[in-house]
Amino acid sequence: MALPQVKSDATEARVAALAMPDGAAWAQTARTEALARLRAMGLPARRDEYWKYTRPDTLTDAAAPPAATFDPRETPVFDTLDRIKIVFVDGVFDAEASDDILALKLKGIAIVRLSDAERFDLHWSKDIYGVLEARGQNPVERPLAALNTAFATDGIMIHVKEKIDKPINLIYLHKSDRSDAILHHCIKLEQGADLTVLESGPAAARFNKVMEVEVADGAAFHHVRVQGRDHERRAATHMFARLGAESTFKSFTLTKNGVLTRNECVVEFTGDNAVAHVAGACVGDGDFHHDDTVFVTHDAVNCESRQVFKKVLRNGATGVFQGKILVQPGAQKTDGYQISQALLLDDDAQFFAKPELEIYADDVQCSHGSTSGAIDEDALFYLRSRGVPDGQAQDLLVLAFLAEAVDEIEDPAIAEDIVSRLEAWLARHRG
């Protein structure tokens, strides 16, 4: 099927601005195939159903719109945790600023930069790089992810064979107001392995990121992300996860500010008795557009999936949620849960939700709900009547609203850090 001319023109214009890095045959094949996928799909356009609530133009334009850098003047998130730091500045790995991975002599984990992995004729990441992304293109197309696979300029490949106690923190610094970063990470957890990955920072003026995660039988992957406070940045991120039997996958994202954020998460259960939770809390004031798009496919027995997304919006901020649970034939005993809620702090804020269930097995339990509403005035009065000042009482109620999402973070120290960021944001943005 031929693409409409405008779409193919827009795609070619974007592609023309990019260059495919050199590498071994497997990497070249992965990238060339991704480019072919991209050309067949075309970049997303305004009329595409999957982009009904989010305008893709600034994400697909040949040049990135500039975004001023921003000094948050606060201790960076996760700073007090004992962690392994891997730093990218405007999408380029910064060895100086990062921990020396080789010197750390960590047992059970191997970390290598994408460009180094691509030089090997054989590398474990060849079974993941672009492979999970390609699987995630069906039944819904994700062209920005294919573009990423074809043209990613940097990224980190993490191979884990054991339980790793220290989290790995991918730190993204934004220093140039014209940076246009494309990062691609692959993470492979072998049987019984256990890893926590933290991501923090705004990355670039425009950021396209893919993370592919293979979680083998009995392995556990935890992910906590804080997208930076830069107001003008734009980001399109994809997470593709394939889960083996009895594995665990838990991802939480906090987003504060950002004119445009689209976070897609695609999870596929391939082994029985696995668990996947995807959660997000976002707070937006003014020129803020935040889109969570999630697709969970149950293709195994007795798996549990939870999607918990909460958005706090004011002053024209917009929230979007598109979430789907697909239960394939034979995926009996599926336990699927999905909730998306917006707290609209004034009449100008907007929330669009498209929750979907598609079920082809008969013995399953799936529920979903979506609401948007204002602060509960009765609760507010109750708190104030006990002496809690108006602003503080509102903050308490906002945090209470976000609690179900924040509670998805298992590590108490990380959860505490996240809550303190939310408190600080709320204190700065009182109505």
Partner 1 sequence: MLKIKDLHVKLEEEDKQILKGVDLDVKAGEVHAIMGPNGSGKSTLSYVLSGRDGYEVTQGAATLEGEDVLEMEPEERAAAGLFLAFQYPVEIPGVGNMTFLRTALNAQRKARGEDEVSAADFLKLIRAKAKELKIDADMLKRPVNVGFSGGEKKRNEILQMALLEPKMCILDETDSGLDVDAMKLVAGGVNALRDAGRAFLVITHYQRLLDHIVPDFVHIMANGRIVKTGGADLALEVERNGYADILNEVA
Catalog residues that contact partner 1 under the rule CB under 8 A: 376-379, 381-390, 392-393, 396-397, 399-401, 403-404
Cβ proximity to partner 1, 364 vs 397, nearer residue:
397
Min dist. Cβ of residue 408 to partner 1 (A): 14
Tokens coding 391: 């602003």
Q: Which is nearer to partner 1, 113 or 384 (CB)?
A: 384
Longest dimension (CA), the chain: 70
Looking at the Cβ atoms of 361 and 399, the one nearer to partner 1 is 399
Nearer CB in complex with partner 1: 185/311: 311
Q: How far is the CB of 421 from partner 1 (least distance, A)?
A: 18
State the virtual CA torsion across 68, 71, 75, 77 in degrees, nearest 10: 0
Nearer to partner 1, 5 or 387 (CB): 387
> Cβ of residue 330: shortest distance to partner 1, in angstroms?
37
Closest to 238 measured CA to CA, from 190, 287, 199, 294: 294
Q: Report whether 135 contacts 240 (CB < 8 A).
A: yes
The amino acid occupying position 379 is: A
Tokens of 381: 């009065």
Please give the structure tokens belonging to residue 265.
């998460």
DSSP annotation of 154 reads B
Cis bond before residue 143 (omega within 30° of 0): no
Residue 292 pairs with which residues in a beta bridge? 263, 321
Minimum gap (Å) between residue 401 Cβ and partner 1: 6
Closest distance of CB 336 from partner 1, Å: 23
For residues 343 and 351, what is the distance between their CA atoms, to the nearest angstrom?
Answer: 9
Residue (363 or 390) nearer to partner 1, CB:
390
Distance CA 365, CA 363 (A): 7
CB of 376 to partner 1, least distance (A): 8
Nearest CA to 140 among 238, 58, 59, 32? 238
| Nearer of residues 194 and 395 to partner 1, judged by Cβ | 395
CB of 314 to partner 1, least distance (A): 19
Cα separation, 337 vs 139, in Å, equals 21
Q: Which tokens is 237 given?
A: 């991120």
Beta bridge partners of residue 188, listed in sequence order: 159, 214
Question: Least distance (Å) from partner 1 to the CB of residue 387?
Answer: 4
Q: Of 5 and 385, which has the nearer Cβ to partner 1? A: 385
